[in-house]
Structure 1
């Protein structure tokens, strides 16, 4: 077995690993780089391998930094099968089509600018047709715990990673005289959160390729986190402002809806609190969540059995259309507006920031990870002004950073997951170098590697 590394190496985005075994070239994830302009430009560069040479792609989950470059892979010649869980297939379709739409919009904006300055037009990184072609290459939908043959005497088994709906850790085993095995962790979930089951521990393997997003710190307990969210909302309502929550469409949106509903039912939030979900992708993802009870923990599944929708709030309104989104800008105060993207790199949330950041009575509540270089991280790090749509906007709104909602396992959970596997070799990926180095020092009785992009590991 041989693994080469082509993304999320000493970084948190762009997950992409190539496994070569039994004459087959198998890609695990093909995600988009997210962050500053340099990372955006990196998305258009060569993959580090020939897409036409890839036989198969195994997808751990549907977050953009794990599936966002699949349409580009197809555009450049990949024709193989894509294998994932049923929930991941549905969510990845939504994510890739949304990303294609954003790529097309950005290319159109850039070309208007280029035309005014006499420059040559540029193509979108990929378009809707490329995304649809990628969707068409999804083949087998696997169940958790089900082993499937992906090469001669080579099987892959997906285990529930508890990160987002349908997420998986993947164990690949080569059978025969010289047995070999490897586990790709994908993103491991935070066990203290509602809705999804706790991460499963796969059977042991020789090699573990694991994420380290929070390898250097632990999360706040969930109850104080929820209390902090409720406090941020009630304080803002008392001031007469709006609450803007930049949210990731998958998992974080549904978890916040779940938490807001509980707050209303418990009397900790106003009964008819106006909540606007201003994200077509998040709306579609919420509908997909309602179809996949097989991923839920027992408590959430029981709610559905009792005909209760855990994501339904009395004052919840979905705003799919652009005109409906624009109308929200006229809201003077008293509303919670959830919009993507979670890192504020694009999407409708940037418009809501433009209309609320300068207001001292409004608030922006960050409930997820913000990569370096993103607008969310710039705001969290204390910027006094930010540039949005050509205007310099003063940052007067109250900013809250609530980390306990993270969908990622924290340091202690990652260490416990690793200890249960006892691998001979551990390869750390998907983390900032500081977090990764801290985590590496805590590992025992294993050989640790922290690859750079393009590195190769063979055993």
Structure 2
């Protein structure tokens, strides 16, 4: 067994870990870089030949984990994509939407390039390619062992991060012994609406673990929900709108669930809520088909004959014309729109029409990657550029960490410490440098053996990165000693190298 780390190593987005078992090549996630990561690393090429990949095992449907699967297919991958049933259905709309966005963005750029006499660009992939790539997807239920080939079994466990999201357990026969490798994907925040809490795993020999919030604590969800209601009421009192940049899949449904609770309990009355995202509309319909994934509270609402994702005053806009009409609404509207990091989609139009208004509020309810428009606003930018126009930030800005779909530092530790024994190695991925280093120090203080994966690093049970570093340094010291030896000492050097290699 050997693992090579590429995406989400040394950064948050672009999850992609290359696993070699016997003669098979397996990709754990195939995500798209976003924000600063995209600018620095690019999405156009892979660190391996897509034709050599036999399987993609997908933890969940978020684009930073699934978004380059159509590109992988475009460049020659013809293997199987293995995921949960929910992830497969969500990917069918998310990847298609991603292809459409990529085509639209390139079309806009090409019009500009044509005027400049420049050759046209090609989109990363198209909506059609994304739809064809879905034929490679195979969906499975949670908690069922699946043998992909002799000596390699996997099982999906509920990660509590998104509908269909999974912790992946892998049983690997390696040199006549069995190794259990576990990949957390993204671990969910406990007690978030609709979804169950992350499943506790019994043990792992080696653990690949996310660290998105490895240096931060969330405020309690109950207090965040109270704050959300207060923000909405105070904004309406000022005569403004509430704009919520939200991931179309997952976070939007959780916000709808919360607003439904406000309406049912008369916390908000006569409210007008608009979900302005075709993808959010389609994914909400998929959520409604997967009641078996819901937690006890959501199941109880269903048992009473109510739909936890629907309430009076809720409107799903479909056409661009319907979306444009919302720009004329001056007050009393809650507009939930994608993308969650404000990098694309209809949310940018709503920001353009509300960001400069002191009456309005912008509420962030999800992680904002470095280099994104959302991160700039959260970090206190006074002005931002939207459609080539500079817009002043006068609206009130709120960042509700408690509604995050990611476990915070304590949540990550609590999940890890529930394992019956410490893993031989905890490999940290999916986090920025500060978060990973902080979380690494915490785990070291608790007696865990850890390692922060860097791009291009290789890990094997026999030759860990630490051991490899020792070997490399010892060999380099011998090679460097050449400079200190005269030509008459050549035989001595050869013998020294022989002895050193035997020792290593």
What is the TM-score of this pair, normalised by structure 1?
Answer: 0.97
Check the 8 A contact 1:241/1:361 in 2, yes or no: yes
Alignment of 1:187 with 2:189, yes or no, is: no
Cα offset, 1:112, TM superposition: 0.6
- 2:143 is matched with 145
Asked if the contact 1:14/1:30 (under 8 Å) is kept, the reply is yes
Task: Tell me which protein shows more helix as a share of its residues.
Answer: 2
Paired residues of 1:363 and 1:400 also in contact (CA < 8 A) = yes
Superposed CA offset, 1:412-440 (max 9, x none): 11112112232111100001111111111
Query: 1:261 & 1:200 partners in 2: Cα distance?
Result: 27
Correspondence for 1:230 = 229
Superimposed CA distance per residue, residues 10-30 of structure 1 (whole angstroms, 9 cap, x where no aligned partner):
211000011111211111100
Contact 1:424–1:445 (CA under 8 A) maintained in structure 2: no
Q: State the SS of the aligned residue for 1:126.
A: coil
Q: How does 1:287-436 map to 2 (within 5 A)?
A: 287-421=285-419, 422-436=422-436
How many correspondences in the alignment?
A: 456
Structure 1 residue 174, shift from structure 2 partner:
1.6
Deviation at 1:40, TM superposition (A): 4.6
SS in 2 for 1:361: coil
Aligned residue number for residue 275 of structure 1: 273
Distance 1:407 1:242 in 2: 25
Deviations for 1:67-97, whole angstroms, at most 9, x for unmatched residues? 0011111110000011111110011111101
SS in 1 for 2:431: coil
Q: CA deviation at 1:446?
A: 2.9
Q: Does the aligned pair in 2 maintain the 1:261–1:313 contact within 8 Å?
A: yes
**Correspondence 1:246-257 to 2 at 5 A:** 246-257=245-256
Among 418, 433, 447, the residue aligned to 1:445: 447
SS in 2 for 1:179: strand
Per-residue CA deviations over 1:339-390 (Å, capped at 9, x if unaligned) read 0001000000000001111111111111111011110110111111111111
Mapping for residues 6-155 of structure 1, pairs under 5 Å: 6-36=6-36, 39-40=38-39, 42-139=41-138, 141-155=139-153
Matched residue SS, 2:117: coil
TM-score (normalised: structure 2): 0.89
What is the distance in 1 between the residues matched to 2:393 and 2:86? 39
Is the CA contact (8 Å cut-off) linking 2:44 and 2:124 kept in structure 1? no
What are the ranges of 5 or more consecutive residues in structure 1 without an aligned counterpart? none
Superposed CA deviations along residues 43-78 of structure 1, whole A, max 9, x for unmatched, are 434211110000011110000100001111111000
Are the aligned partners of 2:32 and 2:43 in contact in 1 as well (CA < 8 Å)?
Answer: no
For residues 137 and 40 of structure 1, what CA distance do their matches in structure 2 show? Answer: 29
CA apart distance, 1:248: 0.5
Structure-1 separation of matches of 2:43 and 2:257: 37
d(CA) in 2 for partners of 1:309, 1:43: 41
Q: Deviations over 1:285-338 (max 9, x none)?
A: 110000111211112112223221001121000001111001111111110000
- Answer whether contact 2:143 2:157 (CA < 8 A) is retained: yes
- Which secondary structure does the structure 1 equivalent of 2:418 belong to? helix
Over alpha carbons, which structure has the higher Rg? 2
Gapped regions of structure 2 (runs ≥ 5) = 462-504
Q: In the alignment, is the contact (CA less than 8 A) between 2:229 and 2:267 conserved in 1?
A: yes
* Alignment correspondent of 1:258: 257
Q: Report the CA distance between 1:447 and its aligned residue.
A: 2.0
Q: CA RMSD in A?
A: 1.2
1:151 deviates by 2.1
- Retained in 2: the 8 A contact 1:43–1:69? no
- Identify the range of structure 1 (44-53 vs 117-126) with the bigger mean alpha-carbon deviation: 44-53
Name 1:285's counterpart in structure 2: 283
